[in-house]
Structure formats: structure tokens, C-alpha cells
């Protein structure tokens, strides 16, 4: 039997614990399906994550059952970016990132959408540990 594409929660998953309110975060948004909170180690002046509450390990497990959820997350991102102080498009803007797997630089194995913004330079080029000037 193959692994399910998503589960309500995984006992050892840090983002499942955050979604369940078991680990404190600087929360900026929450509804039945989604939670958004500031990254504990920001790589830009504004850096938060939008996270489905269900345990989906990565984009690799997305199926058509997640279309509406991912659509909601992607439309929430610009709204929250502006609420958090990102100057508007086109002179301001933000970066939306979903790391997937080892080559993608994914460290937490629960799907999450990074939103980064604010004045450059940032700490993030193609992954969380590399210095960036572009």
C-alpha cells in the first residue's frame, strides 16, 4: 500500500504541532485549513510561511484533491504580504518559494509556502543557507 498524499497530522512533525497550537509561533493568519506565521529564522526583513494544517509532506504529494487548498494559499500570499508591510508591486513585491525535497532545499517535511519581502539584501538566494545579493 502506498503512503497517503496527506494525513490530518503526523505525531513527530513540527508544523503539525504548530498547526495544533502545541508550539508557539508569531501567527499572522489562521482558518480551518491554513495557518500562517513568521519564520523563526527570517532570511529577509519580512519572512513568513503559509502552511496547510493537513500533513502534506511536500509538493510531490499534491493531487487534484489539493487544488482548491493550494489556490487559496496562493491567493492568500499576496494579501498577507501586503498586510505584513511588503511595498506594492511592481517597485516593491515579494518572493514566494516552495522548497521540495533535498535538492529543493526542503528542511521541514510538511508542505509550506515561504513569502519573503522587504528591502534587499536578503539572506536567501537559492536556499536558506546561501548569501544572496540578487
Binding-site ranges for ligand 5GP (CB under 6 A): 14, 23, 25, 37-41, 99, 105-108, 128
103 Cβ contact list (under 8 Å, min separation 6): none
Looking at residues 37 to 96 of the shown chain, list those that interact with Zn ion (rule: CB under 5 A). Answer: 55
Nearer to ligand 5GP (CB atom), residue 38 or residue 72: 38
In the three-class reduction of DSSP (H, G, I as helix; E, B as strand; rest coil), residue 50 is classed as strand
Catalytic residue among 66, 112, 114, 134: 112
In angstroms, give the least distance from the CB of 55 to Zn ion: 4
Concerning whether 112 is annotated as a catalytic residue, the answer is yes
Cis bond upstream, residue 121 (ω within 30): yes
Residue 66 CA to residue 6 CA, distance in Å, equals 9
Backbone torsions φ then ψ of 54, nearest 5 degrees? -65, 145
C-alpha cell at 16: 503539525
Q: How far is the CB of 92 from ligand 5GP (least distance, A)?
A: 22
Indicate the residue among 13 and 76 with the shorter CB distance to ligand 5GP: 13
Q: Which residues are catalytic?
A: 112
Amino acid at each position: 500500500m502506498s503512503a497517503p498524499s496527506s494525513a490530518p497530522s503526523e505525531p513527530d512533525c513540527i508544523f503539525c504541532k504548530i498547526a495544533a497550537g502545541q508550539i508557539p509561533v508569531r501567527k499572522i493568519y489562521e482558518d480551518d485549513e491554513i495557518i500562517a506565521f513568521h519564520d523563526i529564522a527570517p532570511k529577509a526583513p519580512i519572512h513568513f510561511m503559509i502552511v496547510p494544517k493537513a500533513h502534506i509532506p511536500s509538493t510531490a504529494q499534491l493531487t487534484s484533491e489539493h487544488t482548491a487548498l493550494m489556490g487559496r494559499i496562493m491567493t492568500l500570499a499576496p494579501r498577507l504580504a501586503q498586510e505584513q508591510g511588503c511595498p506594492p508591486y511592481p517597485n516593491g513585491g515579494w518572493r514566494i518559494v516552495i522548497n521540495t525535497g533535498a535538492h529543493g532545499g526542503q528542511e521541514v517535511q510538511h508542505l509550506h509556502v515561504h513569502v519573503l519581502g522587504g528591502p534587499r539584501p536578503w539572506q536567501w538566494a537559492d536556499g536558506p543557507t546561501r548569501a544572496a545579493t540578487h
